[in-house]
């Protein structure tokens, strides 16, 4: 059984199959709806069901409190249709909708695993079938390990100009399923299945205002891709990249950032340490990244076309967005990719 889904206020129509969530249907048809975790945990896909019969399976009441569900709010990543639906999108990006890329599954093999810091690895995989992928800098894919019933979402750290390989920056955790495989089992040539691309943290080619990038931990990856995409295309914008780390041992690519600062006019990298150690001999910014951004925003004139891209753990993103909003930056100028801890 197939139903029709009308998306307001953008006036788009798509189909949804029985047993398929509205978000999955959108991915299949290349309609870039806003999303994060894809499993009812983050609320990024929250919308209003205006008409039709639908049901949601299990989801977090943190993402959708009961009173909102009673008022007709739904999480599209959990919504199954039982009739034609009319849905009002709360968050949407008309530009991203225009440049949507249909989701596909790719067979890949591991090409290299390197250490960037004591707990961040760089994973490079080669695309085998299909042999190339189209994506936008800032997007992510789901990585499936054959024979194991789990996947992890990771943002691409490379630019779309290199479509036959994907690079990721992966933070490893003690006891983490993927971390353990990465550090103890994976070897070059191992097969991984990749599904994507996902994510709406995408730079608009025709925006030329100032730009702030804010990252923490492996949240460097999509921002690194966006930055390098601009450097490769010689995009002229004032770009300030804030990166929050605990101590100097958590920093990497300092030489690469210096090199980009030399060749990209208007770019500056501001790493900040929240727990600088004596042996770090650190003379740069200190404190939580949100405090550093607050100081920066209060002491600089902000461009009216300023755009901010954030990527990292959910608490960091939420606190940073609050700081940005307090300084008058409107939600349509804020783009983010929140890392939600894996539920299995
Ligand atoms: S709750 Fe739907 S994408 Fe996270």
Query: What ligand 1 atom has the least distance to the C-alpha of 77?
Result: 2
78 Cα–ligand 1 center, Å: 8
Q: Are residues 176 and 79 in the same domain?
A: no
Q: Mean pLDDT of all residues in the chain? A: 92
Q: Are residues 180 and 270 in the same domain?
A: no
Structural element, H or E, at residue 257 = helix 254-263
Is 30 or 76 the better-scoring residue by pLDDT? 76
DSSP one-letter code for 290:
H
19 in a structural domain:
yes
> How many separate domains does the chain show?
3
Q: Are residues 13 and 70 in the same domain?
A: yes
Single residue among 98, 128, 145 that ends a domain in this structure: 98
Is 278 or 337 the better-scoring residue by pLDDT? 278
216-269 pLDDT, tens digit per residue, is 877 899 999 999 999 999 888 999 999 999 999 999 999 999 999 999 989 999
228 Cα–ligand 1 center, Å: 28
Which residue spans within the chain are E strands per DSSP? Answer: 2-8, 12-17, 46-51, 54-56, 73-75, 79-81, 85-89, 104-115, 120-129, 140-144, 151-155, 165-171, 191-198, 211-216, 239-245, 267-273, 285-286, 307-313, 334-339
CB 337 within 8 A of CB 136: no
302 in a structural domain:
yes
Measured CA angle at 6 (ends 70, 199), to 5 deg: 85
In short, whether 37's Cβ falls inside 6 Å of ligand 1 is yes
In short, whether 38's Cβ falls inside 6 Å of ligand 1 is yes
73 in a structural domain:
yes
Query: What ligand 1 atom has the least distance to the C-alpha of 37?
Result: 4
Q: Are residues 192 and 136 in the same domain?
A: yes
Q: Which residues pair with 3 in a beta bridge?
A: 16
Measured CA angle at 23 (ends 140, 63), to 5 deg: 85
344 in a structural domain:
no
16-73 pLDDT, tens digit per residue, is 999 999 999 998 888 889 998 899 999 999 999 999 999 998 999 999 999 999 999 9
In short, whether 79's Cβ falls inside 6 Å of ligand 1 is no
Percent of the chain with pLDDT over 90: 74
Query: What ligand 1 atom has the least distance to the C-alpha of 59?
Result: 1
Crossing angle of helices 220-232 and 254-263, rounded to 10°: 30
In short, whether 77's Cβ falls inside 6 Å of ligand 1 is yes
Q: Are residues 280 and 321 in the same domain?
A: yes
Query: What ligand 1 atom has the least distance to the C-alpha of 63?
Result: 1
Query: DSSP 3-state assignment of 202?
Result: coil
Amino acid 93: pLDDT: 82
Task: Read off the CATH number of the domain in which 144 is found.
Answer: 2.40.30.10
CB 289 within 8 A of CB 271: no
Amino acid 340: pLDDT: 66
Q: Are residues 245 and 335 in the same domain?
A: yes
Q: What is the domain range of residue 67?
A: 2-98
Please choose from 24, 57, 75, 339 the residue to mutate so as to test ligand 1's pocket, defined by most ligand atoms within 8 A of CB. Answer: 75
Amino acid 341: pLDDT: 63
42 Cα–ligand 1 center, Å: 5
Q: Are residues 285 and 330 in the same domain?
A: yes
204 in a structural domain:
no
Single residue among 154, 176, 198 that ends a domain in this structure: 198
Residue nearest to atom 1 of ligand 1 (CA): 40
In short, whether 22's Cβ falls inside 6 Å of ligand 1 is no
In short, whether 218's Cβ falls inside 6 Å of ligand 1 is no
Percent of the chain with pLDDT over 70: 99
Single residue among 149, 173, 198 that ends a domain in this structure: 198
- Which of 184-188, 197-201, 330-334 tops mean pLDDT? 184-188
In this structure, are strands 46-51 and 85-89 parallel, antiparallel, or unpaired? antiparallel
Nearest to 269 by CA among 213, 308, 341: 213
Q: What is the mean pLDDT of residues 298-305?
A: 90
206 in a structural domain:
no
In short, whether 64's Cβ falls inside 6 Å of ligand 1 is no
- pLDDT above 80: residue 178: yes
Q: What is the DSSP string of 211-248?
A: EEEEEEGGGHHHHHHHHHHHHHTT----EEEEEEESSG
120-152 pLDDT, tens digit per residue, is 999 999 999 999 999 999 999 999 988 888 889
CA distance readout (Å), 197 to 41, 93, 218: 20, 16, 18
Label residue 342 by pLDDT band (50, 70, 90). low
SS3 string, 100-148, reads CCCCEEEEEEEEEEEECCCCEEEEEEEEEECCCCCCCCCCEEEEECCCC
In short, whether 155's Cβ falls inside 6 Å of ligand 1 is no
Amino acid 24: pLDDT: 94
Amino acid 344: pLDDT: 64
23 Cα–ligand 1 center, Å: 9
Task: Read off the CATH number of the domain in which 35 is found.
Answer: 3.10.20.30
- Counted residue by residue, the chain has a size of 344
Q: Are residues 257 and 160 in the same domain?
A: no
Please choose from 43, 58, 62 the residue to mutate so as to test ligand 1's pocket, defined by most ligand atoms within 8 A of CB. Answer: 43
Q: What is the mean pLDDT of residues 160-176?
A: 93
Query: DSSP 3-state assignment of 286?
Result: strand
CB 165 within 8 A of CB 127: yes
In this structure, are strands 12-17 and 2-8 parallel, antiparallel, or unpaired? antiparallel
Q: Are residues 221 and 277 in the same domain?
A: yes
Q: Are residues 92 and 109 in the same domain?
A: no
Tokens (6 digits) for 73: 């709010």
Q: Are residues 294 and 262 in the same domain?
A: yes
Tokens (6 digits) for 50: 């205006």
Tokens (6 digits) for 118: 């004591």
Task: Read off the CATH number of the domain in which 252 is found.
Answer: 3.40.50.80
82 in a structural domain:
yes
Q: Are residues 74 and 166 in the same domain?
A: no
Cis before 334 (ω within 30): no
């Amino acid at each position: 059984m197939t139903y029709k889904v009308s998306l307001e206020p953008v006036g788009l129509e798509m189909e949804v199959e029985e047993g398929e969530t509205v978000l999955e249907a959108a991915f299949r048809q290349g309609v870039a709806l806003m999303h994060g975790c894809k499993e009812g945990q983050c609320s990024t896909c929250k919308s209003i069901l205006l008409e039709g019969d639908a049901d949601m399976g299990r989801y977090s009441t943190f993402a959708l409190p009961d009173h909102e569900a009673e008022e007709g709010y739904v999480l599209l990543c959990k919504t199954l249709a039982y009739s034609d639906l009319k849905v009002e999108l709360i968050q949407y990006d008309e530009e991203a909708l225009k440049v949507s890329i249909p989701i596909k599954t790719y067979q890949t093999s591991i090409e290299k695993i390197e250490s960037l810091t004591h707990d961040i690895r760089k994973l490079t995989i080669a695309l085998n079938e299909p042999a190339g992928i189209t994506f936008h800098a800032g997007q992510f894919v789901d990585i499936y390990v054959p024979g194991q019933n789990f996947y992890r979402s990771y943002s691409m750290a490379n630019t779309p100009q290199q479509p036959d390989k994907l690079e990721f920056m992966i933070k490893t955790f003690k006891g983490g399923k993927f971390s353990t495989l990465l550090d103890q089992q994976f070897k070059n040539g191992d097969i991984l299945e990749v599904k994507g691309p996902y994510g709406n943290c995408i730079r608009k080619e025709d925006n030329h205002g100032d730009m702030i990038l804010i990252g923490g931990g492996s949240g460097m990856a999509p921002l690194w891709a966006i930055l390098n995409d601009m450097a490769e295309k010689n995009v002229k914008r004032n770009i300030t990249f804030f990166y929050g780390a605990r101590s100097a041992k958590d920093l990497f690519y300092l030489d690469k950032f210096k090199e980009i600062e030399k060749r990209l006019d208007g770019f500056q990298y501001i790493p900040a340490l929240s727990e600088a150690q004596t042996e770090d001999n650190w003379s740069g910014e200190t404190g939580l990244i949100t405090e550093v951004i607050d100081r920066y925003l209060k002491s600089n004139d902000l461009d009216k076309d300023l755009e901010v891209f954030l990527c990292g753990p959910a608490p960091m993103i939420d606190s940073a967005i609050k700081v940005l909003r307090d300084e008058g930056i409107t939600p349509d100028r804020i783009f983010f990719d929140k890392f939600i801890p894996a539920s299995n």
